[in-house]
Chain A
Amino acid sequence: MSEFFHQYFDFTIMGDHFSEILEGFLRNLLLFAVAVVLALIFGLFLALLRQLPGKKFMPLRGITIAYIDVFRAIPLLIILFLISGGVPYLNFLPKDIRIPHWFGQPDPFWYAVVALTLVYGAYMAEVYRAGIEAVPGGQVEAARSLGMNHGQTMRHIVVPQAVTKIPAPMLNEMISLLKDTTLASVIAYSESLLLGREVLAETFNSSAVMLSGLMFLVVVLPMARLVDYLIKRNQGKITRGAHMEVA
């Protein structure tokens, strides 16, 4: 039992490497912060493309649906390798794009941002879609009967209501995204897992990796509670709404 405890919870190793792992974890958070903003925007963009009306936009809708399907089907890790192991050799691109070092961040950071945005944009597009489809059809009819066009109806009526219906599933996607930032370790972005594995390789002890895991736990647990709270609150709203209908 104590052997087990030592393998995973050696406080000396944890203490020695705490600041290093924490620094790595802050890089996880930075990667998350940039990728989540871009994915939220890109996902909404995809969801809106998918809602474009009429025969004219059928090809665009088709391409969007295909994109969403493809990027939900291919493992994020593979996308990550396809980008980090391919883009640098696309010589027709300018060097600043092939090997980006924008805002003082290393190129693995940006490859990971792109991979996370492409994949989570597709996931989040589906969440937005659920929200958009949950807005009653009467809202669209009312807006259209007042002369608003499709774009105005989406912007002023549908999307503002759709986003209030999806905070819980969207937070779940964000939690997944945060955890998936550890995948960037395999393309040498020195986040907490990469640093923890270096300690593991030196000492054959898992405590530093465990420490990285605990840091995620500390951040994600409150988020998970928040999801539950939002779901409960939303149910309350629905019940009240039903009551209003009767009243």
Chain B
Amino acid sequence: MAEAMIRLDGVCKRFGKLEVLKGVDIEIGRGEVVCVLGPSGSGKSTLLRCVNLLAPPEEGEIFLEGHDICKGPGSGTGEESWELDFVRQRVGMVFQQFNLFPHKTALENVTLAQEKVLGRSKQEARAKATELLERVGLGDRLDQYPETLSGGQQQRVAIARALAMDPHVMLFDEVTSALDPELVKEVLDTMRELAAEGMTMIVVTHELGFAREVADRVIFMDGGVIVEEGPAGEVLENPKEERTKQFLGLVLDR
């Protein structure tokens, strides 16, 4: 593997006394799609928040395209450091609760950061946003406000919003967990296309079918550590660790 897109080296994250990540090592290559599975509270979401420094780790190093993005771990929020811009310009994130801006239309949700952060002109941002919203199948909803869109549509706007920043990596944090079953597919389809286009993706999910089909690799986490990782088929069909078997058994029994 050439230079890793993302490399985590002994990453630890605490919230007060609660130790959420207890030394996590991961390497993710360019264009790789990695699904992270695990029970709630296992640290999956925190892992994503570490990677884009929404929750900078206390210990360990994270390298993004070879740059150490948390120099001086424990140095606080990293608010004033250059890494923050470096990271946020390269890493897009989509959230479980969509987090669309309710006072902005679908189009404005996608253009705002383009204009304010990347300094694109109104026309440029609009063109890009229109193109992306058409791509996720919402070309006819540009001027609608989030509250008039279904959950699945909102989540697709959120994906378009993140893609508008031309990220090199996309983080997905249980993006289908808040959706009705029949709306899940449209969001997963959008993610499938993205994966097929070669986007590097870290996907925290409970959708085992999606993981089996799309992921190059699956990571199973529990209690703040990686329990097992490997090719999707292998981990999902023939898990080696007892804890993984137990978890997958529970999920499949549903």
A95 interfacial by beta-carbon distance below 8 Å:
no
* Max chain A C-beta neighbours (<10 A), residue from B85, B93, B99, B161: B99
Q: Please indicate the chain B residues that have their CB under 8 angstroms from the CB of A152 in the complex.
A: 116-117
Main SS at interface, chain A: helix
A231 interfacial by beta-carbon distance below 8 Å:
no
Q: Give CA–CA (A160, B108) in the complex, Å.
A: 14
Say whether A145 contacts B117, CB under 8 Å: no
Q: Please indicate the chain A residues that have their CB under 8 angstroms from the CB of B97 in the complex.
A: 136, 138
A229-246 toward B: CB 8 Å interface, digit per residue (1/0)?
000000000001100100
Q: Which of A55, A144, A241 contacts B88 (CB 8 A)?
A: A144
Q: Please indicate the chain B residues that have their CB under 8 angstroms from the CB of A53 in the complex.
A: 77, 79
Closest to B110 in A: A146
Closest to B118 in A: A147
Say whether A141 contacts B99, CB under 8 Å: yes
Q: Which of A143, A156, A244 contacts B147 (CB 8 A)?
A: A244
Closest to A142 in B: B99
In the assembled complex, the CB of B152 is this many whole angstroms from the nearest CB of chain A, namely 11
B68-92 toward A: CB 8 Å interface, digit per residue (1/0)?
0000000011011000010011011
- A sample of 17 inter-chain contacts (CB < 8 A) reads A53-B79, A56-B80, A138-B97, A139-B99, A141-B95, A142-B95, A146-B113, A147-B117, A148-B113, A148-B116, A150-B79, A152-B116, A152-B117, A161-B101, A161-B102, A161-B103, A164-B103
Main SS at interface, chain B: loop
A99 interfacial by beta-carbon distance below 8 Å:
no
Q: Give CA–CA (A144, B92) in the complex, Å.
A: 10
Q: Please indicate the chain A residues that have their CB under 8 angstroms from the CB of B92 in the complex.
A: 145-146
A136-186 contacts to B (CB < 8 Å): 136, 138-139, 141-148, 150, 152, 156-157, 160-161, 164
B52 interfacial by beta-carbon distance below 8 Å:
yes
Q: Please indicate the chain B residues that have their CB under 8 angstroms from the CB of A164 in the complex.
A: 103
Q: Please indicate the chain A residues that have their CB under 8 angstroms from the CB of B158 in the complex.
A: 142
Q: Please indicate the chain A residues that have their CB under 8 angstroms from the CB of B93 in the complex.
A: 142, 145
B99-139 toward A: CB 8 Å interface, digit per residue (1/0)?
11111000000001100111000000000000000000000
A86 interfacial by beta-carbon distance below 8 Å:
no
Closest to B78 in A: A54
Say whether B113 contacts A147, CB under 8 Å: yes
Say whether B76 contacts A146, CB under 8 Å: no
Q: Please indicate the chain B residues that have their CB under 8 angstroms from the CB of A150 in the complex.
A: 79
Q: Give CA–CA (A111, B145) in the complex, Å.
A: 46
B162 interfacial by beta-carbon distance below 8 Å:
yes
B165 interfacial by beta-carbon distance below 8 Å:
yes
In the assembled complex, the CB of B200 is this many whole angstroms from the nearest CB of chain A, namely 16
In the assembled complex, the CB of B52 is this many whole angstroms from the nearest CB of chain A, namely 6
Q: Give CA–CA (A241, B148) in the complex, Å.
A: 11
